[in-house]
């Protein structure tokens, strides 16, 4: 929604969200550190803190990764998706605190440079010499790149598809982190509960993702019927349209959103939000605009432009209604922001 | 989200989920076994275990 | 048909039912996190008995020995511990030159105490070691007697004495392995830790057949289950295990 780049577009929701986030993290750390100080008084403080930051980070990572599929399964989770990047940056900061403590504690003050030590000190091909520290370091690099590019500045300049692909590397980081934990601390802190918790996390996330995928499997089935005029495809019947409720369809793998509004007008725009490629057809018609369910970006249905002072725009499609009361959409989209006379029913 | 993203997510979790689980279980099952032995002659009397 | 409640991030208030849902979801996540924090903190159990008196620099006097590793036979025992390993700050052993120059002399030095249930160590403030000359009680000027206990085979874990005795707790096992390797490479005395079926530990200082340092030859075997053949000697308070590093064998899984 920004015409210029602000550091963070603060609003009341984001402020409340971040206050709750910080307090929750502090609560987590307080519980872990408090119990550790009481039950393990000889545990070296740097090691206790190192563990607290690490477990807080990986727990938060599981929450972050759960939000996406949860939002697909039930739209009520979308408010948590809105600010997910704040969770991500927070998780990175926790992971960084853990890494700095670990490097200072275990790798400084020796005959080798600390970063070199991270990679070579404990490295070998056998089970007892798996370089778990290197796995953690690589994961940290990925998380850093993601945190550093989490701002919309990067989203715009890298373009949404490139940015999204870059941020899919969180999944690589996740596997690296499982390896880091499994071949590291779980080799000595062998309580069954620890491995069980980690396993439950993996299974939970895997199950959520697969269930979300399965439950959404029909959304992107392509329209098959071509109209008599072969430039157009038949999307639906007029009777399928409900006033002010967008209807989504997929044309050659591209999503579009049809809308019946102002009583008798039918327009069609791209179903892909220009911001982060959110699903516009799953949004709502509010304030005279089709509104994206992810971050609230808005587009006017007749020309795909955002209302003043915003400048985003999306492609539009020519629409006509045939004599069988079917809604036809021209397969080839118009350039973003092109006005199109709405079809009238 | 575009269709290609959803496909990639699906693939990720069909591959990465099982991979992560395999790593976890492999590492847990192949932990080193620490030996125990009776006290050797002449050493100082040992005290409370940690 | 009324549409479902719709969240728009930049609006100051979301629909009431959504707010309720988000509140419940947030509480769920916080409760989940608190549970994970409690469980994972309670399952921590590899802490040893070591302590590091960080920040408390004391004076020690006694007889300095350079063999088998730099040691101080203190005039003032702590509990039943009279023999103190000497090390430098961070991951460095005591200076071999200083040890050579002051071997068998009465010295005073400043340092920080590191000890566990079995052994004790002083992290020496560099340049604080002073010879007190040759006066003093002849009885304490003699190094403690050393007796041989014969050939034996021991099984356990090689760790660095500094971390294990208290600078890092836990100073054992895989998470600490890199640090142990760097410490031993830096000259910290390596010790073999064994445990009996009740979990009681014993320590054995590892040296070569003639008492020489073998730090660099054992780096590959640190923090793993190993079996070693050698000759056991008792030297004052310490168990000293004279070994040929080539005889170290990793125990099969």
Please report which confidence band the pLDDT of residue C181 belongs to, taking 50, 70 and 90 as the band edges: very high
Q: State the alpha helices, DSSP H only, in chain A.
A: 12-39, 45-73, 78-82, 84-107, 114-120, 132-148, 152-158, 160-167, 170-182, 192-215
- What average pLDDT does this structure show over C115-139? 85
Residues β-bridged to residue A291: A284, A298
CA distance C6 to C24: 17
Higher pLDDT: C59 or B4? It is: C59
- What average pLDDT does this structure show over B2-31? 88
Question: Among A173-177, B4-8, C203-207, which is the least confidently predicted range?
Answer: B4-8
Give chain C's radius of gyration (CA, Å): 26
CA distance A91 to A80: 15
Q: Cβ of B8 and A168 within 8 Å? A: yes
Q: Cβ of A186 and B17 within 8 Å? A: no
Q: Give tens-digit pLDDT for C74-124.
A: 999 999 899 999 999 999 999 999 999 999 999 999 999 999 999 999 999
Of C157, C199, C202, the CB nearest to B39: C202
* Percent with pLDDT over 90 in chain A: 74
- What average pLDDT does this structure show over C205-218? 96
CA distance A39 to A37: 6
Query: What's the domain range around B26?
Result: 1-31
- Average pLDDT of chain C is 92
Q: Cβ of C196 and B39 within 8 Å? A: yes
With beta carbons under 8 A apart, name residues in chain C contacting A27. 30, 33-34, 37
- Listed by number, the residues of chain A in 147-186 with a beta carbon closer than 8 Å to a beta carbon of chain B are 161, 164, 168, 171-172, 174-175, 178-179, 182-183, 186
Of B8, B19, B28, the CB nearest to A175: B19
Q: Cβ of C168 and A105 within 8 Å? A: yes
> Looking at residue A8, what is its pLDDT?
63
With beta carbons under 8 A apart, name residues in chain A contacting C170. 43, 47, 188
CA distance A217 to C143: 81
Would you kindly state where each structural domain of chain A is located, as residue ranges?
12-215, 232-344
As a whole number of angstroms, the longest Cα–Cα distance in chain C is 103
- Average pLDDT of chain B is 78
**Residue C73 clears pLDDT 70, i.e. is over it:** yes
Report how far apart, in Å, the C-alpha atoms of A113 and of each of A104, A116, A262 are.
Answer: 11, 5, 69
B49 domain-assigned? no
B8 domain-assigned? yes
The pLDDT tens digits along chain A (345 residues) read 444 455 666 777 888 889 999 999 999 999 999 999 999 999 999 999 999 999 999 999 999 999 999 998 998 998 898 889 999 999 999 999 999 999 999 999 999 999 999 999 998 889 999 999 999 999 999 999 999 999 888 887 888 788 888 999 999 999 999 999 999 999 999 999 999 999 999 999 999 999 998 888 877 777 767 767 788 999 999 999 999 999 999 887 788 999 999 999 999 999 999 888 889 999 999 999 999 998 899 999 999 999 988 999 999 999 999 988 999 999 899 999 999 999 998
- Average pLDDT of chain A is 92
> Looking at residue B48, what is its pLDDT?
38
CA distance A272 to A261: 19
Angle at C29 between CA A167 and CA A95, to 5 degrees: 45
Of B4, B20, B28, the CB nearest to A202: B20
DSSP string over A231-273: TEEEEEEGGG-BBTB-EEEEETTEEEEEEEETTTEEEEEESB-
Residues whose CB falls within 8 Å of the CB of residue C133, separated by 6 or more in sequence, listed in order? C105, C106
ipTM tops the 0.85 cut? yes
DSSP string over B1-50: --HHHHHHHHHHHHHHHHHHHHHHHHHHHTPPPPP--PPPTTPPPP----
Residue of chain A minimizing CA distance to B11: A210
Residue C111 host element (H or E): strand C105-115
With beta carbons under 8 A apart, name residues in chain A contacting C224. 128-129
Name the CATH superfamily for A232-344: Rieske [2Fe-2S] iron-sulphur domain (2.102.10.10)
> Looking at residue B42, what is its pLDDT?
47
Please report which confidence band the pLDDT of residue C251 belongs to, taking 50, 70 and 90 as the band edges: very high
Q: Cβ of C169 and A122 within 8 Å? A: no
Q: Cβ of C155 and B33 within 8 Å? A: no
Residues whose CB falls within 8 Å of the CB of residue A241, separated by 6 or more in sequence, listed in order? A247, A258, A259, A260, A266, A327
* Structural domains in chain C plus CATH codes: 51-141 (2.40.50), 146-250 (2.40.50)
Phi, psi of C59 (to 5 degrees): -100, 140
Please report which confidence band the pLDDT of residue B47 belongs to, taking 50, 70 and 90 as the band edges: very low
In this structure, are residues A306 and A312 in contact, taking their beta carbons and an 8 Å threshold? Answer: yes
CA distance A98 to A79: 29
Of A63, A106, A242, the CB nearest to C1: A242
| Tally of domains within chain B | 1
With beta carbons under 8 A apart, name residues in chain B contacting A128. 32
B28, B33, B37, B45: best mutation site toward chain C, by most C Cβ within 10 Å? B37
B32, B38, B41, B45: best mutation site toward chain C, by most C Cβ within 10 Å? B32
Preceding omega of C68 cis (within 30 degrees of 0): yes
């Amino acid at each position: 929604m920004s015409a210029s780049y602000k550091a963070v577009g603060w609003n009341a929701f984001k402020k409340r969200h971040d206050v709750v986030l910080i307090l929750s993290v502090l609560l987590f750390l307080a519980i872990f550190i408090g119990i550790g100080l009481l039950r393990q008084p000889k545990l070296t403080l740097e090691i206790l803190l190192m563990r607290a930051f690490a477990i807080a980070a990986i727990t938060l990572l599981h929450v972050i990764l759960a939000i996406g599929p949860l939002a697909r399964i039930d739209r009520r989770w979308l408010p948590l998706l809105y600010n997910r990047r704040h969770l991500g940056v927070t998780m990175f900061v926790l992971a960084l605190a853990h890494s700095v403590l670990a490097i200072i504690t275990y790798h400084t003050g020796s005959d080798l440079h600390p970063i070199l030590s991270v990679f070579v000190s404990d490295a070998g091909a056998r089970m007892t010499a798996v370089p778990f520290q290197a796995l953690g370091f690589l994961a940290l690099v990925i998380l850093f790149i993601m945190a550093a590019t989490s701002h919309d500045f990067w989203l715009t300049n890298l373009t949404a598809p490139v940015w999204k692909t870059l941020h899919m590397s969180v999944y690589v980081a996740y596997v690296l982190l499982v390896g880091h934990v499994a071949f590291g601390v779980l080799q000595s802190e062998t309580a069954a509960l620890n491995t069980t918790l980690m396993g439950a996390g993996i299974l939970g996330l895997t199950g959520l993702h697969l269930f979300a995928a399965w439950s959404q499997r029909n959304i992107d089935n392509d329209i098959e019927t071509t109209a008599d005029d072969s430039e157009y495809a038949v999307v639906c019947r007029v009777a399928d349209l409900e006033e002010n409720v967008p209807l989504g369809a997929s044309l050659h793998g591209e999503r579009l959103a049809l809308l019946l509004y102002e009583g008798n007008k039918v327009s069609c725009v791209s179903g892909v939000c220009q911001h982060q490629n959110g699903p516009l057809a799953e949004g709502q018609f509010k304030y005279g605009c089709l509104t994206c369910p992810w971050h609230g970006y808005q587009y006017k249905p007749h020309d795909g432009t955002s209302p003043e002072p915003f400048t985003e725009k999306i492609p539009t499609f020519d629409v006509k209604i045939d004599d069988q009361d079917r809604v036809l959409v021209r397969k080839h989209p118009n350039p973003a922001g092109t006005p199109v006379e709405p079809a009238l029913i | 989200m575009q269709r290609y993203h959803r496909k990639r997510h699906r693939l990720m979790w069909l591959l990465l989920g099982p991979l992560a689980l395999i790593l976890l279980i492999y590492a847990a099952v192949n932990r080193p076994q620490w030996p125990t032995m009776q006290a050797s002659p002449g050493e100082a009397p040992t005290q409370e275990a940690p | 048909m009324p549409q479902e409640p719709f969240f728009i991030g930049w609006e100051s208030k979301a629909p009431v039912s959504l707010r309720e849902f988000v509140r419940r979801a947030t509480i769920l996540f916080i409760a989940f996190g608190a549970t994970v924090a409690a469980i994972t903190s309670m399952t921590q159990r590899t802490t040893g008995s070591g302590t590091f008196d960080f920040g408390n620099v004391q004076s020690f006097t006694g007889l300095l020995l350079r063999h088998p590793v730099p040691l101080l036979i203190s005039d003032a025992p702590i509990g039943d511990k009279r023999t103190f390993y000497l090390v430098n700050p961070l991951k460095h052993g005591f200076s071999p030159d200083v040890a050579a120059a002051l071997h068998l002399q009465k010295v005073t030095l400043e340092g920080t105490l590191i000890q566990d249930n079995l052994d004790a160590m002083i992290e020496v403030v560099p340049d604080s070691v002073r010879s007190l000359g040759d006066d003093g009680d002849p009885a304490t000027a003699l190094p403690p007697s050393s007796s041989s206990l014969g050939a034996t085979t021991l099984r356990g874990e090689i760790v660095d004495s500094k971390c294990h005795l208290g600078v890092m707790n836990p100073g054992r096992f895989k998470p600490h392995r890199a640090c142990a390797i760097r410490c031993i490479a830096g000259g910290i005395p390596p010790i073999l830790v064994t445990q009996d079926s009740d979990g009681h530990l014993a320590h054995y200082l590892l040296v070569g057949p003639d008492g020489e340092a073998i730090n660099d030859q054992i780096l590959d075997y640190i923090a793993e289950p190993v079996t070693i053949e050698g000759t056991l000697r008792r030297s004052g308070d310490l168990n000293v295990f004279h070994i040929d590093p080539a005889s170290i064998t990793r125990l099969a899984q």
